[in-house]
Amino acid sequence: MYSRIAGTGSYLPEKVLTNFDLEKIVETTDEWIRTRTGIERRHVAAPDETTCDMAEHAARRAMESAGVGPEEIDLIVIGTTTPDQVFPNTGCLLQARLGIHGPPAIQIEAACSGFIYGLSIADRFIRTGGAKCALVIGADMLTRIVDWTDRTTCVLFADGAGAVILKPSDEAGIMSTHIHADGAYSNLLYVPTGVSKKHDPAVANQHCVIMKGSEVFKVAVNTLGRIVDETLEANHLDKSAIDWLVPHQANMRIIQATAKKLDMPMEKVIVTVQDQGNTSAASVPLALDTGVRDGRIKRGDLLLLEAFGGGFTWGSALIRY
C-alpha cells in the first residue's frame, strides 16, 4: 500500500511587496536582494488575515482538485511555525472551518521543513491503514515575526499556504520520505521567545527571527546535497531518473547548488522564489501546486521534494506524481 497525491492547492495573500518597496523600509537595494537571493517580490498577509485563513484557502483548492469533500478527510496534518494561537492548534481551527468533526488534527513545528515532515507522517498513516484521506498543509506567516528594521532577514521571508490530499493507492505514489533534525544548530536560525522561556531583557525584538545567514547557507547546501543522495540510494535510482526538482524556496543560489548536484538543468526545477520569497513551510507545496497547475508536472512524473529549515530540520520526498 502506498499513498498518492490526489490533488494540490495553494494560496498567496493579495498584497505584493517588491524589492523596490523594501528599499523604502531598510537600507537595501533591489540589485542586492536579487543577486544574493533571487527574490524580486513576495506576498504579505493583510493585517486581519491569519495562518488558518491562508491554510483554509489552500485546503479548499486541494480538496476541489482531488474531488474530495470534508466528510472524506480522516486526518489533518499542518506544518506551521506561525500558528494563529498557542492552542487550539491550527489544524483544529481549520477543522472547524471545514466542518470536519472527529479525525485527528496534528500541527507540526519544523520551520521550513514543516510540510515535508507532515507529508512523511501522513504517508505513514496511509501506508499502515491508519487513514484513507489525509489533508496535508504547509502554511506560514513569517512576516509577522520578522524584524522590519533588520535588512538581513526582512527581505527574505513571506507569507503563503500550500496543501495536498493524500489517498491510498496500489502503486506509488510517495516512494519514500526522509526526515531529519539536528538541534546542535539551534543558534543559527531561531526566534528567542516562546511561551515558557523567560524573556531576556538584553535581547531586542525577542519575538523575531534571528539568523546567521552565511552559516545557514553553507550548512543548507551541504545538507541538501546529502539528502538528495540518501533519497536516491534508498530507491536504487540514478539522478537521471528525476523529472522535476521541487525545492524549498529560500535562496536561488541554494536551489541552483542542489540542481547542480543532481545534474539537472534549471528548466527541470520548479522555481517560485523570485515571486514568493521564503514562505517557510508553505514553499514546497506552493511550488508543487504551481508546477501542477501550469502543466509542467504531469501524472507519472518522478518528483524530488526537499526542504531545510530552523532547528535545523530537513527532509525530502520522492514521489511518482
- The residues carrying an active-site annotation are 112, 248, 278
d(CA 140, CA 162): 10
Q: Does 308 participate in binding ligand COA (rule CB under 6 A)?
A: yes
Q: Does 216 participate in binding ligand COA (rule CB under 6 A)?
A: yes
What's the closest the beta carbon of residue 3 comes to ligand COA, in angstroms?
Answer: 26
What's the closest the beta carbon of residue 243 comes to ligand COA, in angstroms?
Answer: 25
Q: Does 251 participate in binding ligand COA (rule CB under 6 A)?
A: yes
Residue 219 burial by Cβ neighbours in a 10 Å radius (0-12, 13-18, 19+):
middle
Q: Does 210 participate in binding ligand COA (rule CB under 6 A)?
A: no
Q: Does 190 participate in binding ligand COA (rule CB under 6 A)?
A: no
d(CA 127, CA 133): 11
What's the closest the beta carbon of residue 309 comes to ligand COA, in angstroms?
Answer: 4
Interface pick for ligand COA out of 66, 131, 136, 220 (rule CB under 6 A):
220
Using DSSP bridges, classify how beta strands 134-141 and 105-108 pair: parallel, antiparallel or unpaired. Answer: unpaired
Q: Does 37 participate in binding ligand COA (rule CB under 6 A)?
A: yes
What's the closest the beta carbon of residue 186 comes to ligand COA, in angstroms?
Answer: 13
Q: Does 82 participate in binding ligand COA (rule CB under 6 A)?
A: no
Q: Between 87 and 148, whose beta carbon lies closer to ligand COA?
A: 148
DSSP per position, 9-61: EEE--SEEEEHHHHHTTSS--HHHHHHHH---EEEE--TT--HHHHHHHHHHH
Cα–Cα separations (whole angstroms), residue 146 to 17, 35, 157:
14, 21, 8
d(CA 135, CA 283): 17
Q: Does 309 participate in binding ligand COA (rule CB under 6 A)?
A: yes
CB neighbourhood size of 215 (10 A): 13
Contact footprint for ligand COA (CB under 6 A): 28, 32-33, 36-37, 112, 151-152, 155, 211, 213-214, 216-217, 220, 250-251, 254, 278, 308-309
